[in-house]
Amino acid sequence: MALTVCVGAVVFGSGHINEKNLRTLMDEFTDIISEYADVIETKSVYGKLNGNGNGIQYFGAVLVPKDSIKDIEALIEKLDIQFELVGYCEQEGQEILSEYLEHKKIKYETIIDDNQKYISIYFFVSDYPYSNLFDIEGH
């Protein structure tokens, strides 16, 4: 019985570690973006996001008004130094569509219509050294 409790505690606690990792990544990402544009909303998710096998992957997206972005190329260059993969796209609709979100779906709360143009700036991290692989979300 004690073994079951110990294993359960490890598995239960692992989600908190990965949630904290995601918050740390999102905070760093958002802080950099806010130097270049007005941040409207952020969304993020972790788990087995794409591909096969096991592992923890992290994805975060930041919604910014297209007309608030000062220099998108300089921003992406700066983000690219700190994150495994970064990119951006014009946001159409509330759902965040990405090849990196094969197994999960996320969407913005902000209403996106033809009157205002938005850009999603995103990161994808598949090899984070502090990930806890015991988390059930990675399988």
The full set of domains in the chain, from first to last, is: 2-138 (3.30.980)
- Record the tokens describing residue 138, joined without a space: 């990675």
The pLDDT of 117-129, averaged and rounded, is: 90
Over residues 98-112, the pLDDT tens digits come to 999 998 999 999 999
- Mean pLDDT, the chain, rounded, equals 85
Residue 88 CA to chain centroid, in angstroms? 13
The pLDDT of 71-76, averaged and rounded, is: 95
Question: Is 90 exceeded by the pLDDT of residue 48?
Answer: no
Over residues 86-101, the pLDDT tens digits come to 999 999 999 999 999 9
pLDDT band at 114; cut points 50, 70, 90 = confident
- Which pTM does this prediction carry? 0.84
Asked whether the beta carbons of 36 and 75 are under 8 A apart, the reply is: yes
- Record the tokens describing residue 14, joined without a space: 């692992």
Question: Is 80 exceeded by the pLDDT of residue 135?
Answer: no
